[in-house]
Amino acid sequence: QVQLVESGGGLVLAGGSLRLSCTASGGSLNNYAVGWFRQAPGQEREFVAATSYNGGDTKYTDSMKGRFTIARDVRSRTVYLQMTGLEPEDTAVYSCAAHIALGAVVGGTGLYWGQGTQVTVSS
């Protein structure tokens, strides 16, 4: 079982940037496709971005493409979500999730999940 741990959330002013990190506790993410999702209060969970096990393929929600970048560092066994140009509407709990198949990550089914990290963007 993969246990995911997110970090890097916090409070930032509109227009600012944050980098979120996702690692596996007691193991490695290097064999898994990994994605980021977010959930704002009162809203459904939303897919943000995903990367294949080797970083060769990435997927984004169209509205976040260009502002958010997902990348993985095989050496540190970490998957990052670089967020720039943050807006108050980006305020949410951001969670990472993993699965062997990239398609499963994008579809949000059968995934290992982390606990999430809060991102708050103030205007």
**pLDDT, tens digit (0-9, with 9 covering 90-100), for 79-108:** 999 999 999 999 999 999 999 999 999 998
Provide φ and ψ at 121, rounded to 5°. -115, 120
Q: Do β-strands 10-13 and 117-122 pair in parallel, antiparallel, or remain unpaired?
A: parallel
- Classify the C-alpha dihedral 38-50-97-105 as positive or negative: positive
Strand intervals (E) in the chain: 3-7, 10-13, 18-25, 33-39, 46-51, 58-60, 68-73, 78-83, 92-99, 112-113, 117-122
pLDDT at 28: 85
Cα angle, residue 103 at apex, residues 46 and 84 outer, rounded to 5°: 45
pLDDT at 111: 87
**pLDDT, tens digit (0-9, with 9 covering 90-100), for 29-80:** 889 999 999 999 999 999 999 999 999 999 999 989 899 999 999 888 999 9
pLDDT at 117: 98
- The separation between CA 66 and the C-alpha centre of its own chain, rounded to angstroms, equals 15
The 3-state DSSP class for residue 107 equals helix
pLDDT at 114: 95
Q: What is the mean pLDDT of residues 19-34?
A: 91
pLDDT at 27: 80
